[in-house]
Amino acid sequence: MSKVLVIGGGIAGYCAAMAARREGADVTVVARAPGATALYAGAMEVIDDLDAVLKRQPHHPITRLGLDSVRLATELDTAIHALQLALEKEGLKLAGAWRTVGLYADIHGLARPGNLVPASVAGGELHALSGKRVAVIGVKEVGDYDAASTAQALKELHGIEAFPEEVSIPDLPEAASVTDLYGRRAPLPSRIRSNAIAYPPGFTNLPQEGFELLASPPSPHGWRLQQAIAHSTVRADISSFETAHRRLISAKSGERTFRADAFVLASGRHIGGGIAGGRLAVEPLLKLGVFHDGSPVAHMGTRLQHMQYLDPAAELRGGLATDRSLHPLDGGGQVAFENLYTAGAVLGGYDYSGPCGFGVPILTGWLAGRLAAKQQ
Ligand SMILES: Cc1cc2nc3c(=O)[nH]c(=O)nc-3n(C[C@H](O)[C@H](O)[C@H](O)COP(=O)(O)OP(=O)(O)OC[C@H]3O[C@@H](n4cnc5c(N)ncnc54)[C@H](O)[C@@H]3O)c2cc1C
């Protein structure tokens, strides 16, 4: 049985571990802390237009896999089905499909697209709310969320008949915030005047007609997802590796050594810690190559720093690049280690908070885990 070490406890590491275990590998996942996965707003974006990505974005991690759209779609079907089953077992049911997109409002009433959402969010799909009367629950003691302005925004921006409905939860701490609602039973409005009820995120036991709004960080949706995927994760901060002949032998965290036959690096981007910013973006663990639109950032001089101010979204596209088997490249464009694979937001060439926010981690995690288990 081959041994696989996955470095990263976010959605990419989780999908890698799932796939490697399916191939019969003995998998250990290590993570030092929650990363960007724990902050996601509650609507997973998988991919908006697969063919357009393949045609127009040569450095996108999905294009770099060198697979045609039919094969990619099949892999996404399998990976997402496995993910949905696994999360459901952990008590987190996801609704939707990667081929369909819905629009969901956040706590300020602004709409955000999503392919997959928690079942508790699904009832708030904006098109499905048209023609309904929506009560937006406000909590008197909570200071950082205003149900009246959310209801106003739902009306003005999306044409939904929404109105605020204030409740009181007297045992909340003084100067309570939305995060203090986490894990509490959903209060019911005093009068039933609506056929849909929008709740700020975090409550449990919603009534049948209730749904949760999307969050801004810190996000209850992200926290629930992080808890669902963190069960078998070992807490460890990997700081160095033992290597020999372009292979990794073990990873070290303090006094602990994790030996494996293959390794998956799913260490996230700036929030996870997989890429360190500064004058020059670097991959801190193995000094792998960091690329921006196909060019090593080390050769870009100050151009990338200027971009930080001119176009931060473009600047944030910098990250690792891989060959077709998800082996990360070194600064010279060569495969760095034969038994190292990489997945998720640590990969460059796409906007990780954009339309592939979850699609890249899920798909590359799934494929990297499988490749690592087979060492292909
Ligand atoms: C604020 C915010 C909101 C977002 N909202 C959405 C959204 O609503 N929809 C959407 O589709 N996408 C969203 N995204 C994007 C999406 O959340 C991320 O792209 C995705 O979660 C990245 O997953 P990941 O597993 O690659 O990385 P992460 O979740 O960042 O995980 C990286 C992991 O690696 C670990 N790690 C790093 N270095 C080491 C080390 N040396 N040793 C041990 N462990 C290490 C970290 O501790 C962490 O566990 C959002 C992103 C942000 C930042």
Nearest CA to ligand 1 atom 8: 41
Supply the pLDDT for residue 53: 97
In terms of DSSP bridges, do strands 262-265 and 295-296 run parallel, antiparallel, or are they unpaired?
Answer: unpaired
Supply the pLDDT for residue 301: 61
- Residue that has been written with the tokens 């460890």 in this structure: 236
Supply the pLDDT for residue 306: 62
Q: Which two tokens stand for residue 71?
A: 């094969």
Q: pTM of the full predicted structure?
A: 0.96
- In whole angstroms, give the CA distance from residue 34 to residue 37: 7
Distance 372 CA to ligand 1 centre (A): 21
Q: Which two tokens stand for residue 6?
A: 């996955």
Atom of ligand 1 nearest to the CA of 346: 26
Nearest CA to ligand 1 atom 52: 36
* Complete DSSP assignment for 205-262: S--TTEEEPB--SS-HHHHHHHHHH-TTEEE----EEEEETTEEEEEEETTEEEE-SE
- Residue that has been written with the tokens 């930080």 in this structure: 308
- In whole angstroms, give the CA distance from residue 90 to residue 20: 19
Supply the pLDDT for residue 101: 97
Supply the pLDDT for residue 78: 98
Nearest CA to ligand 1 atom 37: 267
Distance 363 CA to ligand 1 centre (A): 14
Nearest CA to ligand 1 atom 53: 36
Best of 6, 30, 39 for a ligand 1 pocket test (most atoms within 8 Å of beta carbon)? 39
Task: Indicate the angle between helix axes 220-229 and 69-89, nearest 10 degrees.
Answer: 90
First to last CA, the chain: 15
In terms of DSSP bridges, do strands 262-265 and 291-292 run parallel, antiparallel, or are they unpaired?
Answer: unpaired
Which H or E run includes 161?
strand 161-167
Q: Which two tokens stand for residue 252?
A: 């070290």
Best of 62, 83, 267 for a ligand 1 pocket test (most atoms within 8 Å of beta carbon)? 267
Supply the pLDDT for residue 91: 95
Task: Indicate the angle between helix axes 11-22 and 220-229, nearest 10 degrees.
Answer: 30
Name residues of the chain where pLDDT drops below 50.
Answer: none
Residues touching ligand 1 (Cβ under 6 Å) are 7-13, 30-37, 39-41, 43-45, 217, 237-238, 266-268, 271-274, 285, 344-345, 352-353, 357-358, 361
Atom of ligand 1 nearest to the CA of 14: 25
Q: Residue 150 contacts by C-beta under 8 Å, 6 or more apart in sequence?
A: 105, 107, 108, 109, 136, 162, 164, 198, 213
Supply the pLDDT for residue 376: 74
Supply the pLDDT for residue 300: 67
Question: Phi, psi at residue 166, to the nearest 5°?
Answer: -90, 135
Atom of ligand 1 nearest to the CA of 112: 8
Question: For the chain, which domains are there?
Answer: 3-90+231-374 (3.50.50.60), 100-214 (no CATH)
- The count of residues in the chain is 376
Q: What phi-psi label fits residue 4: left (phi over 0), alpha (psi between -120 and 50 degrees) or beta?
A: beta
Torsion 355-356-362-367 (CA) sign: positive
Distance 120 CA to ligand 1 centre (A): 22
